[in-house]
Amino acid sequence: MPRSIAAMEAAAPSPHVRRTGIPLGRLFGFPVQLNWSVLVLAGLVTLLYGQTAGYLVGFGFVVLLLVSVLLHELGHALIARRFGIGVRGITLEIVGGYTEMERDTPSPQVELLVSLAGPAVSLALGVAAATISGVLPSGTSVRQVFFLAAAANLIVAFFNLLPGLPLDGGRALRAVVWAVSGDQARGTLVAARCGQVVGVATAVGASLLYLVERLSMFGLMFMLLVALTLWQGAAGSVRMARMARRVPLIDVDQLARPLLSVPTGTPLAEAERRVAESGTPQATVAVTDSSGQLSALVHEQAAAAVPPERRPWVTVDAVARQATQWRTVPAGLRGAEALAALQADPAGEYLVTAGATVVGVLHAADVAALLRRGEGR
């Protein structure tokens, strides 16, 4: 299942960091890693089949399943690359895998193609494994391994096509709603709600199968884990869709905090007094040199760390950062253009500039707060 890192949460100060795992190298240029949880699943499945058909069958099935999941994700990655979408890597997990893309798909048509590529690969692998199983001698371990691989791939293909995020079918549904309504956020919200329904249905269905003794305890626990993963992924997509609807409200000029200039050597307590009297308590203190030019800005966290009784004796210079050390964004940016600029160069604060003039300071936390303001609705 493809997962994009270009979610609205990227407006927060820290950039997205990939989860750590076991690096497996590169495939077609894509970094591939194995989540540690897969080792647990591999051990359990191997032991489970070892009780009946020998450890070799269980181990062979795990290997073919991991290869199948890798090829499924490779299908997403190759189609994404075909349309110019960068791929950071592929990760194999205990309940499948995901392809980490650098940005969202640019259109519903591309979204549909990328989302269906994985299930198409799994369907082809399932048919191929079933064909191989059919021509092998009956009663052999190799035939059983290919039969299990065929069943697993066909189940993965059809399950992934269920219409709910974060499944591939959910992305396909989002693409359809997006194409019809012209609103990507609406498509995400509809597909995410359907994903929550699929998660609940999976949990209920697995529990019923266990009660009528059609599913083992191991199978029940695994399916409940799948259901929980689906619910969490869908809930995250709901939050993302709500934030996406607030992206047009981003206005760098309005969110930028004003500057209050004080000369170099000013005591921190005096600077704070001037801020309080200015009527703009969120103003950033700008330190000017002897010629009146901006040279540094007081860093809020550093200033807050100074004990109140020390602030009359500590100058603003001691808690300031040189202006050249701050990242910048141009004034006038709004909406998706502003968000893209912040995501391209993540930082906690930015100088808002109009030409060579600094007109304010933009805090990434203020942007994130604006986006998250709609999460509860």
Domain ranges of the chain: 2-246, 252-372
Residue 243 dihedral angles phi and psi, to the nearest 5°: -70, -35
Q: Are 99 and 77 in contact (CB under 8 A)?
A: yes
CA–CA separation, 312 and 271 (whole Å): 10
Q: Which residues, in sequence order, are bridge partners of residue 349? A: 363
How high is the pLDDT of residue 97?
84
CA atoms within 13 A on the CB side of 73: 29
The SS3 call for residue 320 is strand
- The Cα 60–Cα 44 span in angstroms is 13
Low-confidence ranges of the chain (pLDDT < 70): 1-20, 41-58, 94-95, 374-377
Q: Distance between CA 224 and CA 275 in Å, rounded?
A: 55
Around Cβ 193, how many Cβ atoms within 10 Å?
18
Structure-block tokens of residue 141 = 């371990």
Amino acid at 155: I
The CATH architecture to which 252-372 belongs is Roll (3.10)
pTM listed for this prediction: 0.73
CA–CA distances in Å: residue 308 to residues 102, 169, 257, 270, 304: 45, 57, 23, 12, 9
Residue matched to tokens 């707060």: 369
For 337, residues 6+ apart whose C-beta sits below 8 A from its C-beta are: none
Residue pLDDT, tens place only, 309-332: 999 999 999 999 998 888 999 999
- Provide the 8-state DSSP code for 359: E
**pLDDT score of 5:** 27
